[in-house]
Structure 1
Amino acid sequence: MYLLTFIFPVLWTAFATSLTAAERSEMSLAQAFERFFPIGMGIGPQDLNRPKVWQLVQHHCRQVTIENHLKPSLVQPAPGLWTFERGDELVKAARQAGLRVHGHTLLWHRQSPEWMVKDSDGRYLPAEVVLGHIRDHIQGVMGHYARDIHSWDVVNEVLADGPSPSDYRQSDWYQAAGFDYILTAFLAAAEAQPQALLFYNDYGLETEPKRSRALRLIERLRAAGARVDGIGIQAHLQIGSPPIEEIGESIRAFAAAGLKVHISELDVSVHPWRRVGSELLDEDRRYEEGLTHETEQRLAQRYADLFRLFMEHHQHIWAVTFWNTHDGRSWLNNFPVRSRVDHPLLFDRQLRPKQAFSAVIEVSAESP
């Protein structure tokens, strides 16, 4: 654990309050880490439609991930009905701003149209029909964006959680076509865009059992002739867990397997983990008016420790992407507990840099 030397509350308040003008005056994260890895953020139309948020993205990022608008149900809700308009808008804005675009995601068990796996009576389609839908969909999406997107999360979250007799999530895709749906996705992506970087993306890869499950998945895909270039460690973390050493072990294990490592959806919840859908309790409301000084410091220390780790392994880190742009935009305000106010990012709801931002900038000046 490192002691932080940057927290001076009075000076910090004056600095943060001054950042209400349109211009961003703080150090750019992209510039601070330029020697090590690109910085990215997950974006959607709500970020593009707020000029000050979009300015924050352009100031701090070298790349962006399209949060939702490239997912299957949003680009092909019915067979052959391609609805690229919102995705096109985001990709065009990013490219005009000089930002690299990472494609997310070609296949997922959520936000996928039912017609791709089931008939009108709700029965699973034959496996060969499902695999054909996968090939056609991937070729259509990657072909459409071939000039603008050169890296993709091919499949997202296919691994089982916790103790399980199978490595694989028993999704509709898996029930209909088994392991072949994952293999077909990677083979189709490599054929559609031979020069693109192809990633597997998942949460929980910082620890076991998913670390080993992911390594077995990559090994099996490669043995079957698929190309997998990288892995996305989503890194949805808590302020106190998992241990930094565990996260480092995963980075090293994936790098040893010849994978580029994308820290792909980074955020740090200030709340303890709760079961998905849990009732909002009084204890969940403690940060509705903002963080306590102690928690603000803990969050800053957590981010400092994380970025020291990323810098230590910078030769293996393809990019570090935050999920999303600022605290008010975070999905964690409604997950796993609905309406539980969270503060998991480097910028607050007024788009001001937090103490965690200052911690990360300070770490960037250190030698890895």
Structure 2
Amino acid sequence: MAQTNELAHRMAAKTIQLVDGSGTPVAGKEITLRQTNHKFLFGCGIFDAIQAADPDAPADRRPWLDRQMDLFLDVFNFATLPFYWALFEPEKGKPRTKELLAAARWLKERNVAVKGHPLCWHTLTAPWLLNLSNEEILKEQFARIERDVTAFKGLIDMWDVINEVVIMPIFDKYDNGITRISQELGRVGIIKEMFAKTRESNPNATLLLNDFNTSINYEILIDGCLNAGIKIDAIGIQSHQHQGYWGREKLEEVLERFSSFGLPIHFTENTLTSGHLMPPEIEDLNDYRIPEWPSTPEFEERQAREIDEMYTILFKHPLVEAITAWNFTDAGAWLGAPAGLVRKDNSPKPAYELLKKRIKGDWSTHAACRTDDAGILNFEGYLGEYELACEGRKASFTLDRDEGTVRLVLS
């Protein structure tokens, strides 16, 4: 009961009148209600969906891909697909639109919401931009947004519009076209341009500003954007914790600070390893490269405990709308870290089983009840999509906070 009170904002009560095809109330009947999807977005970066959706994927890899996707679909309802410009369009005019469209469609057909990541970023941006003037770079960036956001409309209606802007104009590891134009436009200026172009290309899309920097610098940037009239639909917070779990105190402190804007919050890239921790003296996570980073039983249990606490804190917070585990599998994980929820052989880790229990069990609604003489039933459940069944007949509905009685027809 205590948990229900803490999670009341994730739930709603609903009155349903059940009728048959002729409009007659289905009176005095046993009903089962089963939640089939959450409103809350429980996600993963699932880049292997590109190959899974490819009918020409290597036959010897197909069983592994199918197993991975089955495990993913059994728990998660949200996927992030990669649109890194350097990989999506390594040669100007030859984007991988076909492959990404197939992957987005494959996921959408399985009731998975999809986000594209990212439209503008200085890292992994198109190398051929360096041959252009700043004016030409900006023109190409606009064209890229218009082309891709328009092409994926209806399949991908959520985007990390621009990534890691706090560091973008002062990034000095290597020259790149996006840092060049961010220096000219300024942080707020480049965000304003990218959001405006994305909004123009898909007015109904959910647009995120995303960053790993959770210092006051990110708060100042967000405040500057809002004061400049930029409509940010959600604040994206990266939480790559290769050097150790943030812990409850830091997590709640970050939530408190970024909640001050009153905007939805998405934890867009969450990483907790099931191996040894990266040394604390490493300043740029990308600088830590080792031949092998094993997952161990002891650290897998630690990963599960930390994920349990973190997800529980985030799910309880009223402004958090999405959590994305950055790596679903250890195979090909960023930096070679054992940060996946399943091992390289697709065997689930304790963290996977824990999240399945939470998402599909503790935080889902499955109920049985009986209609009254007017075919009415009342129930309370977690927000999302439901299937109602009665004597072999079914009806589907969405549980939201709208008031009033819902009339369902059994078919």
Task: Give the TM-score range, shorter chain.
Answer: 0.7 to 0.9
Counterpart residue type for residue 92 of structure 1: R
Structure 1 counterpart of 2:199: 190
Written as runs of structure 1 = structure 2, the 5 A alignment for 1:315-354 is 315-333=318-336, 342-354=337-349
- Hey, what's the Cα distance between the residues in 2 that align with 1:88 and 1:82? 11
2:157 equivalent among 150, 154, 175: 150
Structure 2 counterpart of 1:357: 352
1:52 equivalent among 60, 67, 86: 67
Structure 2 counterpart of 1:114: 127
Displacement after TM superposition at 1:319 (Å): 1.2
Structure 2: gaps spanning 5 or more residues? 1-33, 54-61, 365-381, 383-411
Q: What secondary structure, in the 3-state scheme, does the structure 1 residue paired with 2:118 have?
A: strand
Q: What secondary structure, in the 3-state scheme, does the structure 2 residue paired with 1:199 have?
A: strand
Written as runs of structure 1 = structure 2, the 5 A alignment for 1:238-277 is 238=242, 240-269=244-273, 270-274=275-279, 275=282, 276-277=286-287
| Inter-CA distance 356–278: structure 2 relative to 1 (3 Å threshold) | closer
Structure 2 counterpart of 1:222: 226
Structure 2 counterpart of 1:175: 180
2:100 equivalent among 77, 87, 103: 87
Please, which moves more after superposition, 318-327 or 40-49?
40-49
- The structure, 1 or 2, with the larger RCO (C-alpha pairs under 8 Å, 6+ apart) is 2
Structure 2 counterpart of 1:304: 308
Mapped contact 1:173–1:181 kept (Cα < 8 A): no
Mapped contact 1:134–1:181 kept (Cα < 8 A): no
Structure of greater Rg: 2
Displacement after TM superposition at 1:324 (Å): 2.0
Mapped contact 1:326–1:348 kept (Cα < 8 A): yes
Displacement after TM superposition at 1:347 (Å): 2.0
- Hey, what's the Cα distance between the residues in 2 that align with 1:352 and 1:72? 32
Structure 2 counterpart of 1:37: 40
Mapped contact 1:106–1:154 kept (Cα < 8 A): yes
Displacement after TM superposition at 1:202 (Å): 2.0
Q: What secondary structure, in the 3-state scheme, does the structure 2 residue paired with 1:109 have?
A: coil
Percent sequence identity is 23
Deviations 1:180-206 (A, max 9, x none): 33321111111111111110112243x
TM-score (normalised: structure 2): 0.66
More strand as a share of residues = 2
Structure 1: gaps spanning 5 or more residues? 1-30, 120-124, 334-341
| Inter-CA distance 51–358: structure 2 relative to 1 (3 Å threshold) | closer
Mapped contact 1:174–1:181 kept (Cα < 8 A): no
User: Is 1:199 aligned to 2:208, yes or no?
Assistant: yes
Q: CA RMSD in A?
A: 3.0
- Hey, what's the Cα distance between the residues in 1 that align with 2:113 and 2:312? 24
Mapped contact 2:43–2:78 kept (Cα < 8 A): yes
Structure 1 counterpart of 2:408: none
